[in-house]
Chain A
Amino acid sequence: TQLLEQSPQFLSIQEGENLTVYCNSSSVFSSLQWYRQEPGEGPVLLVTVVTGGEVKKLKRLTFQFGDARKDSSLHITAAQPGDTGLYLCAGAGGSGGSNYKLTFGKGTLLTVNP
């Protein structure tokens, strides 16, 4: 069974603070995707990382894929209330699985207070 351990599960911070969300696994993934989901809506793709050691930036969000392609992190700088939501990491192609079937982490529910 492929597992993605995501932490923390809940995070409540003040506007302007920085935060990091972690996604770890014992499996090697072909790629890892990060999604953000708001209540009552479907997840929206933020980024896909494919290469070990890869770093991608999306405005105040920085995504990193571990060298061994088993873990990833999402760092948000100077969080804003608009960043509030459920952040999900999902790995594709782990443990010989198909490249298009995703294994989701349990999610991190982020609340940024004004």
Chain B
Amino acid sequence: GAVVSQHPSWVICKSGTSVKIECRSLDFQATTMFWYRQFPKQSLMLMATSNEGSKATYEQGVEKDKFLINHASLTLSTLTVTSAHPEDSSFYICSAIRTSASYEQYFGPGTRLTVT
């Protein structure tokens, strides 16, 4: 199989603090990972594409200085929400593909972020 994990599964933080979310591919190497955001009962919104060893590509409207992405290895990508505000509260999901030619993305279980 292709298992993707996320940590933490949920986090509560105070406004103004930063939060780091980890995404790991457990049984395969992921050259590319994706970060999505999802609001209740809505679809996934792509935030950025993360490639190992290079800068992430952000979607239009996503602040790269606020959502810092680091893909330091073939099995780990991190998303840091800096200076979090209540409007950043959401469900953050990562996904990974094995190679750049693969159509199939394998999703992590998501991280529920609540900013108070």
Q: Which residues of A contact B (CB under 8 A)?
A: 6, 30-31, 33, 35, 40-45, 48, 50, 86, 88, 92-93, 98-102, 104-107, 109
Chain B interface mostly: strand
Question: Which B-chain residue is minimally distant from A10 (CB atoms)?
Answer: B41
Closest to A109 in B: B41
What distance in Å separates the Cβ of B88 from its nearest Cβ neighbour in chain A?
18
Chain A residues with Cβ below 8 Å from B34 are: 101-102
Please name the 6 residue pairs, one residue from A and one from B, whose CB atoms are nearest each other, closest first.
Answer: A42-B107, A31-B103, A107-B43, A106-B43, A92-B103, A42-B109
Which chain B residue lies CB-closest to A29?
Answer: B103
Using Cβ atoms and an 8 Å threshold, which residues of chain B touch A41? Answer: 109-110
Interface size on B, residues (CB 8 A): 27
| A48 x B103 contact (CB < 8 A) | yes
Interface residues of B in 1-53 (CB under 8 A from A): 4, 6, 32, 34, 41-46, 49
- CB distance B104 to A45 under 8 Å? yes
Instruction: Please tell me if the beta carbons of A45 and B43 are within 8 angstroms of each other in the complex.
Output: no
